[in-house]
Chain A
Amino acid sequence: MNLRGKIVRRIQARHADLPLPISINRKCVYILPTPFGLFYAAVVLIILFGSLNYNNNLGLILSFTLIGIGLLAAVQTQKNLTGMLLVAVTPRPSFAGDECLFRLRFINQQRAAKQDILVEAGDSQSALTLEANREAEVRLHRPCPTRGWRSLGMVKISTEFPFGLFRSWSWVGSTTACLIYPHPETNPPPPPIGGRSGGRGLATVGDEEFEGLRDFQPGDPMRLIAWKAVAHTNTLKSKTFSTPTQPELDFQWETAGTLDDERKLSRLCAWICLAANQDRRYRLALPDQVIGPAIGEQHRDQCLKQLALQPGFAGQGRV
């Protein structure tokens, strides 16, 4: 790694892994002139020395005014960043091979608005404008080729406001990480029908013919809520249907098919996603734990999380 890379890494290390909320203040904002700023400085120096030589006092006034503008521009550029607070980093889990999304929320603690701020993480960048005493959100995408935890990495916040003469920047490293589920297999073979039948005294909730309404119970799928009834009675009601009960699904590690462990995870992931889309009840049996049987979003997320966090196999693992 070259010298510049080393220096950057060392500076970044000072700002890495800080707990939220991260305050961006004078201690962590760096500032340097841009190439255009250097050109401007050269021109001003030429005007200065030319005016000195010919004792042209108005030319001197011009050059001093331009010097003053340059200085105040540097101050303003730095002030455009300081006084911000990064209060939240919200990841949204996604699947391996996709991009995962991080939502960063900033608060401007000062009375002056901040504008033209560039927030970058890797290749992803986004513009940020903060009004006085307001918050704003920025979305950054990170590629996630493998499953597991994906941290945001170092985020660079930079600005060249107002004249482009100086650039000030700061590094923010948050510990928040995003969970990446395994990539679901495309066109998986149909899952084996689960061994246990759906009895056990549990009332099953199928979906074919409308039977009636009952009070909403937490855990009922949202798409079964009868909204018109809700509008009339002001309480949540779910529809019930009578169908021949569908058998409960049982996804097992051992019977997932192929030999390759990662592909087993992909297949299980695909099954879980399909089952969740169809609102089927399912159970997941992994070597170290059993989840379910249950239904709903939370159950799906839980299962996928456990799939993602399976201990690493040869060649794969934490990102």
Chain B
Amino acid sequence: MIRFLTIFALVFLAGIFVQATLLRTLVPAAPAPDFTVVLVCFLALRVGGVRGLLGAFVLGLLADFASAQFLGPCAAGATVAYLLVVFIASHMYADRAFSLALLAFMSAAAKSLVYVVMLQTVVGAQVSISNMLGTIALEALLTAVIAPFLLALLFGMTSSTDFARSPANETLPLRIRRVR
């Protein structure tokens, strides 16, 4: 458990650094992949259940703190993304690169949409979803490109015994196939 959390925390900080500094320096003003979404997908596929959901919420909250603007939009987006991955993974095999990329694409798009909707409804920010669709799609695509590699790395660095799920938290149907 401690090893899992340590690896997870290091990957999260590295992802924030790459997203905030490295990519912005190399390709300024361009959309960047969302490493938080990839980590949420990892939680949904490896941990699952309520504990994974709480982990995704905390990840989103940390991303909100990193922005220093509002608490809540990234957390809600991460929660919705987690639910989406759990739902889709319960209906399809999530053991190939293409399916992982598809999961990452859809969850990244969902997270971005939730973020924009919350900005509009709670704060009343003048953000037009139609204007942002292109950026949302591009960011989701970039996230989908890196997701298979990063997920393979995370699955390789951790094992399913690092975070054993108790029967009490098993809320997913039996036909789920998880990435080994």
Does B associate with A? no
A residues whose Cβ falls under 8 Å from a Cβ of B? none
